[in-house]
């Protein structure tokens, strides 16, 4: 079986943390089939002069773990004409896919995110006469509010051979648009236990230069408003009155959604929390387990998620998770044994939950065991079964 992955959210040499969850999933699929990736990158003339660093230049071709990854430029006007993104995405990938098709006769196109990626992939599937799968990962409700994009999203989902979602909440979002339930299959993300493992807390703190004593809260993610770092910072003064040595570590950098770091630093300065907050920046994926193992509680006061891999990664390192009851969060943190869910937007609930989490004695072995039940292996078996049926090969990952 030959699979072509098409997505705009995929790591590259300039943005190594972009869409790591897509690569984690599909490179495991690649152990059981042939796979190549076309990952268009947004481009607009002179954007580097208007907003330096906003859209860095990415190499056209890369080799990642022995797999070819292509990055054609995707014409994308910042902030406007978003209803045309799917069509431009299709055009940007067309010539690259056509050239690739001569030597790589792919059997299926596997796309991630419904718009513009899913629509572009469906149009490519029409051109080359191959089936398409689309994985929903969290943006569908927001984008479906816009009439023109809603129509395109429904067309893409209805045209796909199979729709995957990473959680039940996103499956409901698809069926709410009129997509039959039987056309949608839930395949959650997994966790890599070789990368995310619990190590000695004191040793991790020593290696990272963090204080040996005192509780540490940690958040990991792109520095955008949606992730809610500012909501955690907002409750730190009250928490510090109860836990004077409390430290908040923010791991992450700018993402395709923007860069909220200047606003966060201003907030920290205004609240006189410079000694209480550490901006650790973006960290290599294979070192995140050190930061997580050094902490006591993981927190993400997010406004929207599909299936947040970072929760499982934190739990694999023994951390309980405090997060908001949005999207698929309750599916990733299904029990109070593993963390606490709070209502989104409630400052008081967040403060109480973090205070309780810091005081509570958690069974960290049980938390790690829950993460271990959600590895990538079972997800790949499920995916290969569906790909095999679509392509008529009967292949699986056994």
Instruction: Judge whether residue 352 has pLDDT over 90.
Output: yes
Number of domains in the chain: 2
Q: Is the domain of 168 the same as that of 210?
A: no
For the chain, what percent of residues have pLDDT higher than 70? 97
- The answer as to whether 28 is a domain residue is yes
- The answer as to whether 342 is a domain residue is yes
Look at the alpha carbons of 93, 99, 101, 104 in this order and tell me if their dihedral is positive or negative. Answer: negative
Question: pLDDT tens digits, residue range 244-282?
Answer: 999 999 999 988 778 899 999 999 999 999 999 999 999
Q: Is the domain of 16 the same as that of 165?
A: yes
Q: Is the domain of 216 the same as that of 274?
A: yes
Residue 49: the pLDDT is: 64
Mean residue pLDDT of the chain comes to 94
**Total length of the chain:** 398
CATH code of the domain in which 73 resides: 3.40.50.2000
- The answer as to whether 284 is a domain residue is yes
Instruction: Judge whether residue 196 has pLDDT over 80.
Output: yes
Sequence-separated (6 or more) residues with CB below 8 Å from residue 349: 342, 343
The model carries a pTM of: 0.89
pLDDT band at 84 (very low <50, low <70, confident <90, very high): very high
- The answer as to whether 396 is a domain residue is no
- Please state the rounded mean pLDDT for residues 89-93: 97
Bigger pLDDT: 392 or 136? 136
Q: Is the domain of 225 the same as that of 352?
A: yes
Q: Is the domain of 368 the same as that of 382?
A: no
Q: Is the domain of 299 the same as that of 313?
A: yes
Q: Is the domain of 236 the same as that of 337?
A: yes
Question: pLDDT tens digits, residue range 133-187?
Answer: 999 998 899 999 999 999 999 999 999 999 999 999 999 999 999 999 999 999 9
Q: Is the domain of 218 the same as that of 177?
A: no
- The answer as to whether 386 is a domain residue is yes
- Please state the rounded mean pLDDT for residues 86-93: 96
Range of the domain at 236: 201-372
User: Helix H segments across the chain?
Assistant: 20-29, 47-50, 85-103, 119-128, 140-143, 147-159, 168-176, 201-208, 229-242, 261-270, 288-294, 309-316, 329-332, 347-359, 364-372, 376-391
Q: Is the domain of 23 the same as that of 130?
A: yes
Q: Is the domain of 384 the same as that of 347?
A: no
Q: Is the domain of 137 the same as that of 213?
A: no
Residue 243: the pLDDT is: 97
Residue 398: the pLDDT is: 42
Q: Is the domain of 164 the same as that of 227?
A: no
- Please state the rounded mean pLDDT for residues 296-302: 97
């Amino acid at each position: 079986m030959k699979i072509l992955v098409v997505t705009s959210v995929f790591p590259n040499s300039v943005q190594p943390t972009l869409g790591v969850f897509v690569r984690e999933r599909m490179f495991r699929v690649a152990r059981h089939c042939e796979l190549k990736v076309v990952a268009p990158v947004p481009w607009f003339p002179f954007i580097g002069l208007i907003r330096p660093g906003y859209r860095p230049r990415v190499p056209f071709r890369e080799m990642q773990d022995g797999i070819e990854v292509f990055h054609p430029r995707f014409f994308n006007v910042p902030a406007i004409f978003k209803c045309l993104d799917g069509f431009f995405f299709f055009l940007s990938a067309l010539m690259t896919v056509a050239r690739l098709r001569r030597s790589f006769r792919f059997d299926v196109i596997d796309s991630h995110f419904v718009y513009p990626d899913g629509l572009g992939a469906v149009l490519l599937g029409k051109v080359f006469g191959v089936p398409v799968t689309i994985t929903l990962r969290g943006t569908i409700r927001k984008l479906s509010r816009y009439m023109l994009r809603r129509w395109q999203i429904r067309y893409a989902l209805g045209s796909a051979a199979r729709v995957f979602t990473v959680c039940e909440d996103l499956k409901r979002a698809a069926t709410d648009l009129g997509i039959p339930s039987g056309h949608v299959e839930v395949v959650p993300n997994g966790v890599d236990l070789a990368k995310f493992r619990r190590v000695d807390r004191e040793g991790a703190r020593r290696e990272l230069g963090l204080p040996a004593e005192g509780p540490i809260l940690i958040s990991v993610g792109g520095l955008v408003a949606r992730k809610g770092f500012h909501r955690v910072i907002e409750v730190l003064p009250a928490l510090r009155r109860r836990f004077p040595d409390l430290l908040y570590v923010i791991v992450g950098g700018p993402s395709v959604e923007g860069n909220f770091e200047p606003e966060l630093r201003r907030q920290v300065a205004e609240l006189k929390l410079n000694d209480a907050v550490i901006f650790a920046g973006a960290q290599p994926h294979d070192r995140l387990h050190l930061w997580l193992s050094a902490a006591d509680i993981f927190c993400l006061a997010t406004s929207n998620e599909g299936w947040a891999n970072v929760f499982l990664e934190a739990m694999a390192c023994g951390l309980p998770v405090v997060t908001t009851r949005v999207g698929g969060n309750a599916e990733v943190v299904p029990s109070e044994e593993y963390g606490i869910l709070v209502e989104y937007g409630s400052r008081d609930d967040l403060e109480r939950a973090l205070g309780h989490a810091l005081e509570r004695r958690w069974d960290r072995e049980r938390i790690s065991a829950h993460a271990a039940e959600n590895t990538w292996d079972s997800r790949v078996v499920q995916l290969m079964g569906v790909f095999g049926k679509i392509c008529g090969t009967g292949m699986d990952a056994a």
